[in-house]
Structure formats: C-alpha cells, structure tokens
Amino acid sequence: MKHLILVALILQLLITVIDSTGEFKFGDMVAFYRKCAGKEDVYKHYAIYVGPNNKNNVGQGDNDIFHLTGHIGPVSQYKFGKFEEAKGSSTKVEVENYFDTTDGIKPANIDEHVAEIMKRIKDSKGNCQLYGPLNKNCEHFATWVRYGKPTAKQEGTFVEPIFTANEAVKKKMAEISHEYVMELNCHFTN
C-alpha cells in the first residue's frame, strides 16, 4: 500500500512539473519576446499553439504553431509554422492566455471551445490581409482565434504605451499606419 501511495505521489509530482515547465496546449497563445537594435522586449510576436499531428487536427501536419506572418510588402498571411523558427532569437517565450480569467470572454474552459478555435483556424488558413501594426497584427489575430475578440496589448514591452493610449490617439495612429501601408502598397504595384 505504501508503494502504491508513493507511486501516486511521484506521478502527481511529475505531472505538475511537466505542466509547469512550458508545455503548450492546443489553442494556447504563445508570446515570443523580440528585441530590436539591441534593446530587449521591444515587442512580442504571437502565435497559436496547435501541436504537430495531434487529436485536434486542423491541417497543421508536423507544424507546431499557427500565426500571422510572412510580410510580402504590406500583406501578411495566416499560416502554420515551426515553433523553433518563430522563436528565432527571442529573449523568452511564454503562454499568454490573458483573457482566460476575464468574465464573459471565452474560453474560460478551453476544452469547451476547441471546436470554435479549430473553426477559426480552418476558416483563415492560407488567407492574406493588409498588415497593420496597431489594428491588424499577430496579437489581434491570436486573440481572435482563441477568444473571438481581436485585441492587442503588447503588455510588458517597450511598445505597450502605444497600445494603452486613449481611443482617440489609437484611432489617429491606426489611420496613419493604414496610410503608410497603402503608400507601401503603391510602391509594390508600380
């Protein structure tokens, strides 16, 4: 009996250690902290963890993540990718499911919302959009896939104050950003 209890305790400890060492689950928002010009944590790139060849098959094959990436001029694509490639020279990588504890925003229980997440991934896979750093970026996309609510906070980064500015400032910055993207688009089409 003592051995059985000991085995149960060891298994529980092992499960707890595995769970707290950065194992990702399907649908997790993964934040890759990026540095720029020698400064750390300037911004975060976000992706949704899909895991390779698991029970939640959304066409990912042996890819680990789904994200908005691949700038072709001002255009970005929703696609699957490799975790290690996205990680690149990131200073750190974390799960950031920051709306999980917010009332009224799904998924409070991820298991109940996997089908919605899978549908959003399947519906957007391979599509493109104009990239907007303030209104159509990878964090907006990741929060939309996980929660159905596009949001960007860039919490804990150098650029966070831009995302926490009041609505009038954010609207003006988004307009300027859109005009810049449209101008870039002209250069690619001429």
| pLDDT at residue 153 tops 80 | yes
Is residue 34 domain-resident? yes
Amino acid at 107: P
pTM of the full predicted structure? 0.75
Q: What is the total count of domains within the chain?
A: 1
Q: What does the block give as tokens for 64?
A: 């680990």
Three-state secondary structure call for residue 9: helix
Is residue 10 domain-resident? no
Provide mean pLDDT across the span 103-129: 81
Q: What is the CATH number of the domain that holds 135?
A: 3.90.1720.10
pLDDT of residue 59: 84
pLDDT of residue 182: 59
Q: What does the block give as tokens for 175?
A: 């307009």
> CA 146, CA 81: separation in Å to the nearest integer?
17
Please, which pLDDT band fits residue 74 given cuts at 50, 70 and 90? confident
Provide mean pLDDT across the span 141-148: 93
Is residue 183 domain-resident? yes
**For the purposes of burial, counting CB atoms within 10 Å of the CB of 3, is it exposed (0-12), middle (13-18) or buried (19 or more)?**
exposed
User: Which of 77, 114, 90 lies closest to 31, judged by CA?
Assistant: 90
pLDDT of residue 84: 94
Q: Which domain range does residue 117 map to?
A: 23-189
pLDDT of residue 43: 93
| pLDDT at residue 76 tops 80 | yes
